[in-house]
A and B are shown apart, each in its own frame.
Chain A
């Protein structure tokens, strides 16, 4: 059952304001939306990264539900331990507060998920824990100063793939983590963005309802790392979807389904890229080929998704 904005806005805000996210951060917005849907009977784990750092600093916490941070690469394993302990304590009648059902949500940035935490995530998904893993994908290691990750797009300038006189940003395309998660044969996998709040809310709800592991990949424009006006983060989510860079779909028991049908005359990538400082060098003379390659890659990846969704 999808909630409308009115009911959703009446739910308790479980991420307190006053946390230390940057102005214009879309990540805290993602967390708040997830928690509005998940509700108070939820244990959250965060991987080391911006969202963990900005929501906790001893003796303060923004979390109104139980929250655990352990390390960078082990959030999925940590929450798998919490979820297992829940089952054990429930069976032995020793839960501190009896609950028939609880939600277990682990989140990490793209670095903590696509890269260093991939093994831990893969293991937890394969083991079938009743948990939701959320990757907030801001396409680089932002917390440590904007280094490239396996999710950084081709051509993007980062601190470790800088655009210089010889090199022009990241030299590889991003890996497709969502498909890797689908290959785990888990009951629910989806992509979304915080601009598409209804889509996000519906997906969180489905993910928490399935029996077994679920994975959500959520695009998170980063004003500092991408270099854009803090006011337009949500707009960049919208455009990323419309340009087919970040298609919205879900995979239920292996069946792909588009949850947003793009327009026939979809915008090209250029306008989206142009609003971000990390792609500025692509518009210099001599780099035209890179722009062509980005468009080719986006089209090709999108066509694959359309085929999988039975839309092509």
Chain B
């Protein structure tokens, strides 16, 4: 699935002096407050973080409200879907007008009937709505099916994704993968585009977390990227 990336970040966390006795939990609390929210600095939704244990050192910033500034490095798992990316999610509801999907357990997506290709026909079976592929009757999309769809747009504030099942490479993940295997086992020469190589270049984002917990992005120190694109398969 696209849209997931692991980012190495240099962070600065401002901790209230009353939390100085237990710095680690104060830092984790600050970072946890950012989870599952869209963040401009990270260009996406923070899903998880791995912080290197900070030294128990921090500079005390004097002022009317003094804070302790702690620098640390963290690996962040960020979800940043963009238009035309392929995402996977679990179908939770199928109606004649739309298919509702949950991506990664937290983000809701909707695919309206206009964005579903004509191959799929809506049917009702045992009181349950489902879409059946006209050319492959086994290709069924119903509640509980894992599907792959293309992103049309995303509302960053509400984490709501608008998707599409128009492209041919979208639909039930199980059927698509079977089809893909089937294609690979046949001796067919396919003109393939070169696979993306995993880049080992580094991308550092120097960010600051302000005293109110919001992230302010500094100018990147280097213009390199280290992206590890992870395929996440929902179980």
B is a partner of A: no
